Structure 1
């Protein structure tokens, strides 16, 4: 089912640095030289929130709520507003905490989830995507090495 492939619904920047390996640099280069200008795919830790739903229809409904309020007008979704959507729609235990996953290192999350989390710009919301746990979208709140 292509669980190791890139999520097809992820935004165009989803290909920056194909992580998956043990190289924390993400680009295969050494240290600072392999770092991309925007830092996507090159950090070691990400702070993120997410919404998880078993059914694609439900995740689309949750995502539409964000689109109608912010994304369609080009605005960034405030974490507090994302948290409200997560509390309403997410089927993950983290939904009670507004979808907050806190800081997590590269290698902790499985396949597509890690790819999207580490390649979503800070402040941006990913497009919905499928993982082994269901359907998600992610708000990236920060990144650090």
Structure 2
């Protein structure tokens, strides 16, 4: 618990808002549009996410284009049900059959770039395609909790 109070001091933006007491769980949920240090992105313990995994970059780019043409290019967020349809069509991960649903996972469970992107993508947002040791991914962040 002492670590949580130290980690929120690491960002000077929003420091005054979160330093008011033990309400950082509630305050981080409503402030996802602010600065990175103040929105709880770096301090959450669990993330709920969906993803699309492809071995080839060309295929992940096709999936991203489908998401981009439907929502992202208009500044919209991709609805989870629509992301799930694209995941079922394109993902080569077994989770693709479940719409890419990874459920809740803790910090430290996923490796390298996947964890970095999953824990830094704001709730409701879709990441750009990125590479990991398993292939190319797109992540839809669905939730955060401590």
TM-score (norm 2): 0.78
Aligned position for 1:30:
6
Structure 2 regions of 5+ residues with no counterpart?
Answer: 12-36
Structure 1 regions of 5+ residues with no counterpart?
Answer: 1-23
Return the index of the structure with the highest Cα Rg: 2
3-state secondary structure, aligned to 1:81 = helix
Shift of 1:74: 0.2
Shift of 1:41: 1.7
Number of residue pairs matched by the alignment: 119
3-state secondary structure, aligned to 1:30 = helix
Q: How does 1:84-123 map to 2 (within 5 A)?
A: 84-123=85-124
Distance in 2, matches of 1:95 and 1:113, equals 16
Distance in 1, matches of 2:8 and 2:138, equals 30
Aligned position for 1:39:
40
Does structure 1 retain, via aligned residues, the 8 Å contact 2:8–2:43?
no
Superposed CA offset, 1:49-87 (max 9, x none):
000000000000000000000000000000000000000
Aligned position for 2:25:
none
Give the number of the structure with larger relative contact order, counting CA–CA contacts within 8 Å between residues 6 or more apart.
1
Shift of 1:34: 3.6
Alpha carbon RMSD of aligned pairs, Å? 1.4
Displacement over 4 Å in runs of 4+: none
Structure with the larger helix share: 2
Shift of 1:31: 4.8
Shift of 1:32: 4.1
